[in-house]
Amino acid sequence: MATDGTRDGLAVDGDRLRRRFDAFNEIGATDRGGVNRPALSDANARARDRLVEWLREAGLDVRIDEMGNVFGRRAGSEDAAPVLLGSHVDSQYNGGRFDGVVGVLGALEVVETLDDEGIETRRPIEVVAWSNEEGVRFQPDMLGSGVYTGRFDLDYAHDRTDKSGRRFGDELDRIGYRGDGPCVADDLHCYLELHVEQGPYLAERDLSVGVVEGVYGFSWLNARFTGAADHAGPTPMDRRTDALVATAEVILATRRLTATGGDDLVGTVGSVDVSPNAINVIPETVEFTLDVRSYDNAAVDEAVDRIEREIEWAGEREGADWAVEEIMRVDASTFDDDCVATIEAAAETVGVDHVRMVSGAGHDANYLNEICPTGMIFVPSEGGVSHTEAEYTEWTDVVGGVDVLLHATLSKARE
């Protein structure tokens, strides 16, 4: 019923939103129905240009900060602390069309709906698209909101490099998105983010909206084994120091320990780079990554300790040198009670099926939650699938989520 408007009649224009969504996702579109717009790529630049154009057409006061975060401000009747709405428009490599985009275009739709209805709010409303949320090209992820909220220095962020050695700051210059506005948090009344769940919780329960109470904490590790490259034929098995065998033991140990480390603990080895990576040469070095998450920070601590011991043991068994470094740690975060209650009330107003839940995925909202009252709205991911071109959300659910964002925003902007 979300697409048919809401109980008090105020609803967004789902057709306009759909036209924008489809046009936006022509940028960097892939053959398999996804998008390939990693942070600061040419496709990401074209997506930013399209967004800025639409923000201006909507009459918003656009500014870009020195991290490339894009803001569009709708004035309030008073110059009070604004309500900030948004998400990100960078994508995974060959990622989905919904991840991030629904939150940014949804926020734009919210302010346009208020304009259409001639609704003035006491507080300004700002739409934001954060830089480098995905963290696949430049690590760590959530870099734009991380600098904005003071977690990272600007110089640190500008010095991040991708695998080919290109600096984040140089790439910002290259695509013309190193703005002149300072990347520091304004005094914010609250931050609201609409996003796809990226997990199966809502889809399996046939629910349309998740009212997010908090987000898993996580740890990211970079690890490396160094063995001895040697000819795969004449080198006896008992003379080998194979960095890939040691890595395989850690991959399986990570799978095993998540079974006993806590109900919601997850662990993933997502990236493996073997050298020399030739069919007839024993692997000399393997660099690999680990991603460990739980809503229980202690469970993440324990899992990281166990994985580090597994790495040490695997290296000693194989006779390989080993190194492991935690490159990222984010504690689990609990969102503001009042924001959560406001979103829940908005879902009631809109009349969508909803449930309170926690998020397994990190979001810019994690960082915003450290500096202002924050809440998140989830819409379902079909099959729980995300970070892939197969990512899909029913359009009625997208529109229902944006309606909830509209009503929650209206409540907070009137405060």
Residues numbered 117 to 146 that lie near its own copies (CB under 8 A) are 134-136, 139, 141
Q: Is 269 in the site for its own copies (CB under 8 A)?
A: yes
Alpha carbon 112 to its chain centroid, in Å, reads 25
CB of 161 to its own copies, least distance (A): 15
CB of 291 to its own copies, least distance (A): 4
Segment holding 256, helix H or strand E: helix 243-257
- Which one of residues 185, 274, 341, 355 is an interface residue with its own copies (CB under 8 A)? 274
Cα–Cα distances (Å) from 82 to 74, 186, 318, 366, in that order, read 9, 9, 57, 19
Which is nearer to its own copies, 124 or 380 (by Cβ)? 380
Question: CA-CA distance, 330 to 353, in Å (whole number)?
Answer: 31
- Which one of residues 384, 395, 414, 415 is an interface residue with its own copies (CB under 8 A)? 384
Residue 43 amino acid letter: A
x/- mask, its own copies, residues 79-108, rule CB under 8 A, reads -------------xxx--------------
Q: Is 161 in the site for its own copies (CB under 8 A)?
A: no
Q: Could you give the dihedral angle defined by the CA atoms of residues 269, 274, 279 and 283, in that order, rounded to the nearest 10 degrees?
A: -110
Binding segment for its own copies (CB under 8 A), chosen from 6-14, 45-53, 69-77, 268-276, is 268-276
Other CB atoms within 10 Å distance of the CB of residue 42? 12
Using DSSP, state whether 29 is helix, strand or coil: strand
CB of 139 to its own copies, least distance (A): 7
- Which one of residues 2, 67, 192, 266 is an interface residue with its own copies (CB under 8 A)? 266
Q: Which of residues 30-69 bind its own copies (CB under 8 A)?
A: none
Please report the sign of the dihedral spanned by the C-alpha atoms of residue 340, residue 345, residue 347, residue 350. Answer: negative
Residue 26: DSSP 8-state = T
Q: Which of residues 297-336 bind its own copies (CB under 8 A)?
A: none
DSSP β-ladder status, 83-88 and 190-196: parallel
Q: Could you give the dihedral angle defined by the CA atoms of residues 359, 364, 366 and 370, in that order, rounded to the nearest 10 degrees?
A: -160
Q: Is 392 in the site for its own copies (CB under 8 A)?
A: no
- Which one of residues 15, 22, 78, 278 is an interface residue with its own copies (CB under 8 A)? 278
Structure tokens at 10: 């105020």
Q: Which of residues 218-247 bind its own copies (CB under 8 A)?
A: 218, 220, 228-237, 239, 242, 244-245, 247
- Which one of residues 24, 216, 367, 392 is an interface residue with its own copies (CB under 8 A)? 216
Are 406 and 214 spatial neighbours (Cβ–Cβ below 8 Å)?
no
Which is nearer to its own copies, 24 or 295 (by Cβ)? 295
Which is nearer to its own copies, 38 or 179 (by Cβ)? 38
CB of 284 to its own copies, least distance (A): 7
End-to-end CA distance of the chain: 28
